[in-house]
Amino acid sequence: MRDTNERAVQAMREFLEALGIDLAARGMEKTPERVAKMYASLFDGLGHDTKSLWGELFHTGADGLVAVRHIPFYSMCEHHLVPFFGEVNVVYLPNQGQVAGFGKFVKLVECLAHQPQLQERLTAQIAHAIANDLGARGVMTVVTAQQLCMTMRDSRAHGTQTVTSECTGVFASDRDLCQQAWSLLEGAGRYDSNA
Ligand code: ZN
C-alpha cells in the first residue's frame, strides 16, 4: 500500500482551510488525507517510461492497419486540476507486422492520462509513444473529451466536445493511407451514435 504523503496531507488541509472550510465543523477531518491519496493515484503515471509497458511484441506477418477504438480515459487538466475525460481512438501501421497486445494500448492511455495533462499533449504523447516504442510506420490518434473546467463553469458549454488528433509517419505523408485510417475511425463515430 502506498504510504501517506504527510506533506501533501498538510498542504491540502491548509488549502481547504484557506478557502474558509472548517474541516472539523463539517466532519471533513479525514478529507485532506483522502484527497492526498486520491491525487497520488490520479498522478501515478508521472515519471513512467512508456517503453516498459508493452511486454512481448508479436510478429503477425500481416501488413494491414490496426485500430484500437473507444479506449476510455480520465485525466486532469493541468491548468485547473479538474477532470477531463472521454475516449481515445488509435490507428497504426505496424513496422513489418510487429504489433503489441491490444490491452497494452489501454495501459499506455492510462499511464499518460494519469498526470497533470492537456488534451492536445495527451493526444500527441500517445501517438509518439506508439511510433517510438513500437517503431510503427504511422500512427493516428483521435481523442474526444469533455472538459469539466469549461462545462462546470458555464452551463452554455454543456455537452461541448473537444476533439484533438495527431498523425505521425506515413499517415502524415500518404493521403490514401491517411484516408483509410480516418475511415476506420469514422466507423468509431457511427458506433457512438447508435450507442
Ligand atoms: Zn482546465
Asked if residues 43 and 80 have their Cβ atoms less than 8 Å apart, the reply is no
pTM: 0.91
- Looking at this protein, which amino acid is placed at residue 145? A
Cell of 107: 495501459
Q: Which residues contact 154 (CB under 8 A, 6 or more apart)?
A: none
Distance 32 CA to ligand 1 centre (A): 22
Nearest to 141 by CA among 185, 186, 98: 185
CA of 147 to the centre of ligand 1 (A): 7
The 10s digit of each residue's pLDDT in 102-152 is: 999 999 999 999 999 999 999 999 999 999 999 999 999 999 999 999 999
Whether residue 189 has pLDDT greater than 70: no
**25 confidence band (pLDDT: 50, 70, 90):** very high
CA–centroid distance, 83 to ligand 1, in Å, is 8
What local confidence, expressed as pLDDT, does residue 47 receive? 93
Residue 172's closest CA among 142, 133, 144, 139? 139
> 15 alpha carbon to ligand 1 midpoint, in Å?
19
Residue 86 Cα to ligand 1 middle (Å): 15
For residue 4, the model assigns a pLDDT of 80
